[in-house]
Structure 1
Amino acid sequence: MSLLPIIEYPDPHLRERAVDVDPALLAQPAFQKRLDDMFETMYEAPGIGLAAPQVAVLERFMIVDVDEDRGQPLVFVNPVIRNRSEALRAHQEGCLSIPGIYAEVTRADGIEVDALDRHGKPFTLRVDGLLATCIQHEVDHLDGKLFIDYLSPLKRSMALKKLSKLRKHG
């Protein structure tokens, strides 16, 4: 396995909509290696989710593991969020592509998502809390959307100024 470079804001790839993955490609060793490399990259960063566009691959797949012991790795290929609860949850979010910036974002507390696993088997997952937040965050990446897009113009401007200062000072 090897670490992949994570692209950072304002790289234009982060704003592009990813294309569906051909399920026939899931059996390819290269695809399986990319998934393994993404997990290694996410854990090393450290993070709890990573979408393919964040490693400059404009395809609709992502990985998630919100378990503190890194024991629940999940792969979502061509994910579609089918239902979102009316109940909302505010959560402090960050992003590996916008390092050092955190902000409170309100999202649906519960979701239902359909996807293929890493071997092409379809599944439906109904989740809430942190896992639901993480999945919504990563699906946004597949659609070219970032968590800072949910912030008010003032808070987004403040976050981007902070990012600029962080980059200047290493």
Structure 2
Amino acid sequence: MADAHVTEDDPTIEAAADARRAAALGAIRQYGDPVLKGRAREVDAFDDQLRRELDAMGMLMHDAQGVGLAANQVGTLHRVLVYAVDGGEGPVRKLVNPTIAWRSDDVEVGPEGCLSLPRISVDVERHVFLAVRAKDEDGRDIEVEASGFEARIIQHEMDHLDGILILDRTSRDQRKRALRELRARAQA
């Protein structure tokens, strides 16, 4: 329950959210970290440790104000990802050992950002529709049929599990621009 005297425009709430986001981004591996280029390994133990890992990833994603997070981004080479379609505020979906069962021929180019490349946005071509087979956190088989933004999020996070970043999927010009921005920030 929210305090009736507090509004969303309250600077205290905004400052707390900014602090949580900064702390979360500090816990997420950033561009240049070699784990981001590693290929994640299949999970075979569906236990409390896996459930804790997925729950922690979901909380970290929310605190970072993201809509998806792959295990590589937290330094673990497990083949797991979490995402939430509704601006990161909706329920967290958890996919273990995801594989694409089907993807449409229809593709679209759209802007993407990444918690491992904060404040960078590049255009990436993605399939509009797809079906993903995975396991849930208890090892049960699940299938997700996704389109639009949800399909984009899943493809982005699955790329992470294969060591692929958005910079690997964009045009040469956009990659150069993004790398210049990253270098400028590192020098500032």
1:26 aligns with 2:46: yes
* Superposition deviation, residue 20 in structure 1: 0.3
SS of 1:145's partner is coil
Aligned-residue offset at 1:69: 6.6
Higher RCO by CA contacts (8 Å cutoff, separation 6 or greater): 1
Percent identical residues: 38
For the pair 1:7 / 2:26, whether they are aligned, the reply is no
Instruction: Tell me what 1:162 maps to.
Output: 181
Aligned ranges 1:62-81 → 2 under 5 Å? 62-68=81-87, 70-81=89-100
| Partner SS state of residue 61, structure 2 | helix
Q: Which runs of 4+ in 1 moved over 3 A?
A: none
- Normalising by structure 2, report the TM-score: 0.83
Q: Distance in 1 between matches of 2:90 and 2:30?
A: 27
Matched AA of 2:68: G
Tell me which of 144, 147, 153 is aligned to 2:166. 147
- What secondary structure is seen at the aligned counterpart in 1 of 2:76? coil
Structure 2 residue runs of 5 or longer lacking an equivalent are 1-22
Consecutive unaligned residues of structure 1, counting only runs of 5 or more, are none
Could you say what the CA RMSD is over the residues aligned between the two structures, in angstroms?
Answer: 1.6
How far, CA to CA, are the matches of 1:63 and 1:41 in structure 2? 10
Of 131-140 and 153-162, more deviation after overlay is shown by: 153-162
Task: Give, in whole Å, the separation in 1 of the partners of 2:100 and 2:32.
Answer: 26
**Residue type of the partner of 1:101?**
I
Of 50, 61, 73, 1:54 maps to: 73
What's the CA shift for 1:152?
Answer: 2.0
- C-alpha separation in 2, matches of 1:71 and 1:96: 18
Asked which structure has the greater CA Rg, the reply is 2
Contact 1:100 1:166 in 2 (8 A): no
CA contact (8 A) 1:77 1:118 kept: yes
Change (3 A) 1:57 1:69: closer
Number of equivalences: 165
C-alpha displacement of 1:141: 0.3
| Superposition TM-score, scaled by structure 1 size | 0.91
Letter paired with 1:6: I
Contact 2:67 2:88 (C-alpha < 8 Å) held by counterparts: no
